[in-house]
């Protein structure tokens, strides 16, 4: 999954801004403060969406309180075919490596709290986001699933630490309630909210990301 991570150009007086690279985009919060360790939202873009979705949620959710790394789905072999997130085991581990590399590169440039990294996505991307959170308890503290598929086939969280992984399910579309049995079986602590507007959903999303807050200053 070749990517070109954009070089964030930050100033403490700069407004919030999206900086775009090849296959990636980074949201730098308003008044970026290097001494503050920011939560990071790693947003997996839904390939079925008409336009990138992370930019529709940030800065609407917050212009100051977090950094966002948006990643597009990989295309088929050799760069051909439609972009898609795959959910088979080998593909998930490969995606986990790619996401981890992107986070490490961004962490070398911006001040990110290593214990406040969450994954997010909508639809099929939500399933991948939650699956990655189940696979790696060291790297991710939880996941946000927006309008997830009615049934998600998730890896079981076998590590006791993963039982503390948090999952926020945001229902924007009409359908089944968000707390799926498979999510409970995966060992995730599930919170589900149903929101009529993106503005309300964005507020719920940010409240969830910022709670609980521990020591964020070095």
Containing H/E element for 83?
none
Mean pLDDT, rounded, for 3-7 = 63
Phi-psi region at 187: left, alpha or beta (left = phi > 0; alpha = psi -120 to 50):
left
Q: What is the pLDDT at residue 217?
A: 41
Q: What is the pLDDT at residue 152?
A: 63
17-210 placed in CATH 2.40.30.170: no
Tokens 């359908």 identify what position? 175
Residue 95 has what DSSP assignment?
A: H
Euclidean distance between CA atoms 17 and 8, whole angstroms? 10
What is the DSSP annotation of 184-206?
HHTT-EEEEEE-SSHHHHHHHHH
Task: Report pLDDT digits (tens) over 164-175.
Answer: 567 787 776 655
SS3 string of 135-150?
HCCCCCCEEEEECCCC
Task: Compare 35 and 180 and report the one with higher pLDDT.
Answer: 35
Does position 43 have pLDDT exceeding 80, yes or no? yes
Euclidean distance between CA atoms 162 and 192, whole angstroms? 19
| Range from 16-20, 45-49, 144-148, 184-188 carrying the lowest mean pLDDT | 184-188
Residue ranges covered by each domain of the chain = 17-210
Does position 176 have pLDDT exceeding 60, yes or no? no
Percent of the chain's residues with pLDDT above 90: 27
Does position 31 have pLDDT exceeding 70, yes or no? yes
What is the DSSP annotation of 27-65?
EEPTT--TTB-EEEEEEE--TTSSS-SHHHHTTTS-SSS
Containing H/E element for 109?
none
Q: What is the pLDDT at residue 216?
A: 42
Task: Compare 207 and 181 and report the one with higher pLDDT.
Answer: 207
Task: Report pLDDT digits (tens) over 76-119.
Answer: 554 455 788 988 889 999 999 999 999 999 999 999 999 999 99
Does position 5 have pLDDT exceeding 60, yes or no? yes
| 3-state secondary structure (DSSP) of residue 101 | helix
Task: Report pLDDT digits (tens) over 51-85.
Answer: 888 988 998 888 889 999 999 998 755 445 578 89
């Amino acid at each position: 999954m070749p990517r070109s991570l954009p070089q964030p150009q930050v100033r403490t007086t700069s407004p919030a801004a999206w900086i775009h690279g090849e296959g990636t985009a980074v949201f730098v919060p308003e008044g970026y403060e290097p001494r503050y360790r920011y939560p990071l939202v790693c947003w997996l873009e839904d390939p079925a969406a008409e336009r990138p979705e992370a930019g529709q949620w940030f800065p609407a959710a917050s212009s100051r309180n977090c950094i966002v790394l948006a990643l597009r789905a990989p295309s088929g072999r050799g760069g051909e075919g439609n972009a898609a997130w795959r959910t088979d085991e080998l593909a998930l581990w490969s995606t986990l490596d790619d996401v981890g590399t992107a986070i490490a590169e961004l962490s070398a440039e911006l001040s990110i709290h290593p214990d406040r990294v969450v994954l997010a996505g909508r639809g099929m991307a939500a399933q991948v986001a939650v699956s990655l959170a189940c696979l790696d308890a060291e790297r991710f503290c939880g996941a946000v699933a927006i309008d997830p598929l009615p049934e998600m086939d998730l890896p079981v969280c076998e590590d006791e630490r993963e039982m503390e992984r948090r999952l926020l399910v945001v229902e924007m579309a009409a359908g089944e309630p968000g707390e799926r049995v498979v999510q409970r079986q995966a060992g995730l602590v599930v919170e589900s909210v149903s929101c009529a507007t993106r503005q309300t959903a964005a507020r719920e999303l940010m409240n969830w990301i910022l709670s609980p807050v521990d020591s964020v200053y070095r």
